[in-house]
């Protein structure tokens, strides 16, 4: 990681003065578009984030915390909020939440919106640009596996590589050897898929990965239909999230295959639908409530002027239901 970059590093890289960098970070209109662009590029390249002290100088705050999520449709964030409430209650911080789309009609990034609301800190449970993070000027804790590179910002995440291993080991221990993975784009899916591939290789089995176009039920169903139509049909599938696992089960039903008799299926996230009687899906749980609570405590440490752990990786667990059976 190296040393945390300073405002001087940004100024040097952008070829401007330190005070001009400050003006850009304060969103001043007295900066030319060229110089603004140069500074923001340098901020992004270096992964620069302003110190708490500089943030404090920006004025009074509101005793509130903003939570940025990817999309409200992904129910993973509801227990995250419950965990955050437990942590933040002690110091009476209020919560606001926004997904990437909430103010897209104004071309307004959720981080920019939280900056305007003068929140004291942010839980980043979605993607963001390093430039937007730097301009935010308040402490941030990243929650979950994110593609964004944020040197100096603490991360609390479930160990999703371990989760992919857990799902795969469960299927292998049930006697399956032809185990496929239905994966999708995104940092989280990539970590789960990598865990699957590592566990397969460690057991001397050959990974067989079908990539769906999206993380949706429909896209996974499409990918699974192709997989199940092949001459050598897998006897088990690990899907990188629960809706995708439902897509796999739906595709299996269309081929006349019963789950778990003809095909064992494991999902990921232990979402409410995994527990539905009709579905009864074996799934990997990252315990989002606990992640929220830990991330909230880390943010309080930063808000109190202390240090947070650079990275906390929580172990996931397997929730066994009726979608997996002995080969």
Binding site for a copy of itself (CB under 8 A): 71-73, 75, 77-78, 81-82, 85-86, 88-89, 92, 94-98, 101-106, 108, 113, 117, 217-218, 221, 243, 246-247, 249-251, 253-254, 272-273, 275-279
Query: Which residues, other chains included, contact 148 with Cβ-Cβ below 8 Å and sequence gap of 6+?
Result: 124, 127, 128, 129, 130, 133, 142
What is the dihedral angle through the alpha carbons of 194, 210, 155, 309, rounded to the nearest 10 degrees? -20
**DSSP symbols for 35-99:** HHHHHHHHHHHHT----HHHHHHT----SEEEEEES-TT-TTHHHHHHHHHHHHHTTT-EEEEEE
Q: How far is the CB of 229 from a copy of itself (least distance, A)?
A: 15
Provide, rounded to whole angstroms, the least separation between the CB of residue 263 and a copy of itself: 13
Q: Which of 25, 81 has the CB closer to a copy of itself?
A: 81
| Least distance (Å) between residue 163 CB and a copy of itself | 23
CB of 182 to a copy of itself, least distance (A): 14
**Shortest Cβ 207–a copy of itself spacing (Å):** 26
Closest CB to a copy of itself among 77 and 196?
Answer: 77
Assess contact for 111 and 122: CB atoms under 8 A: yes
Nearest CB to a copy of itself, comparing residues 121 and 221: 221
Minimum CB–partner distance for residue 79 and a copy of itself (Å): 9
Q: Give the 3-state secondary structure percentages of the chain, helix then strand then coil, rounded to 5.
A: 45, 15, 40
Nearer to a copy of itself, 122 or 191 (CB): 122
Cβ closest to a copy of itself, residue 166 vs residue 259:
259
Closest to a copy of itself by CB, 151 or 250: 250
Burial of 71-80, coded b for 16+ CB within 10 Å and e otherwise, reads eeebebbbbb
* Of 302, 248, 259, 257, the residue nearest 120 (C-alpha): 302
């Amino acid at each position: 990681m190296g040393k945390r970059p300073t405002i001087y590093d940004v100024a040097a890289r952008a070829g401007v003065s330190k005070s001009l960098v400050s003006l850009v970070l304060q969103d001043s209109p007295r900066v030319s578009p060229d110089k603004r662009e140069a500074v923001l590029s340098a901020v992004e390249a270096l992964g620069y984030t302003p110190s708490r002290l500089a943030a404090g100088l920006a004025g009074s705050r509101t005793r509130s915390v903003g939570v940025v999520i990817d999309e409200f449709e992904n129910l993973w964030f509801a227990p995250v909020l419950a965990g955050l409430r437990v942590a933040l209650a002690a110091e009476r911080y209020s919560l606001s939440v926004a997904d990437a789309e909430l103010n897209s009609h104004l071309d307004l990034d959720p981080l920019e919106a939280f900056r305007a609301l003068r929140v004291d800190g942010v839980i980043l449970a979605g993607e963001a640009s390093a430039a937007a993070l730097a301009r935010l000027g308040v402490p941030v804790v990243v929650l979950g596996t994110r593609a964004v590179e944020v040197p100096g910002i603490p991360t609390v995440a479930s160990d999703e590589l371990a989760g992919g291993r857990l799902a795969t080991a469960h299927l292998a221990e049930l006697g399956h050897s032809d185990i496929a993975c239905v994966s999708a784009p995104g940092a989280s899916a990539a970590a789960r898929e990598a865990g699957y591939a590592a566990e397969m290789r460690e057991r001397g089995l050959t990974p067989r990965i079908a990539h769906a176009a999206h993380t949706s039920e429909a896209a996974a169903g499409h990918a699974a239909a192709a997989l199940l139509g092949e001459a050598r049909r897998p006897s088990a599938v690990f899907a990188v999230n629960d809706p995708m696992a439902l897509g796999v089960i739906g595709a299996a039903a269309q081929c006349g295959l019963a789950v778990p008799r003809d095909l064992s299926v494991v999902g990921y996230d232990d979402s409410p639908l995994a527990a539905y009687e009709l579905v009864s899906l074996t799934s990997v749980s990252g315990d989002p409530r606990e992640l929220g609570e830990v991330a909230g405590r880390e943010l309080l440490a930063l808000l109190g002027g202390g240090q947070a752990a650079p990275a906390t990786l929580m172990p996931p667990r397997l929730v066994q239901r009726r979608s997996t059976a002995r080969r």
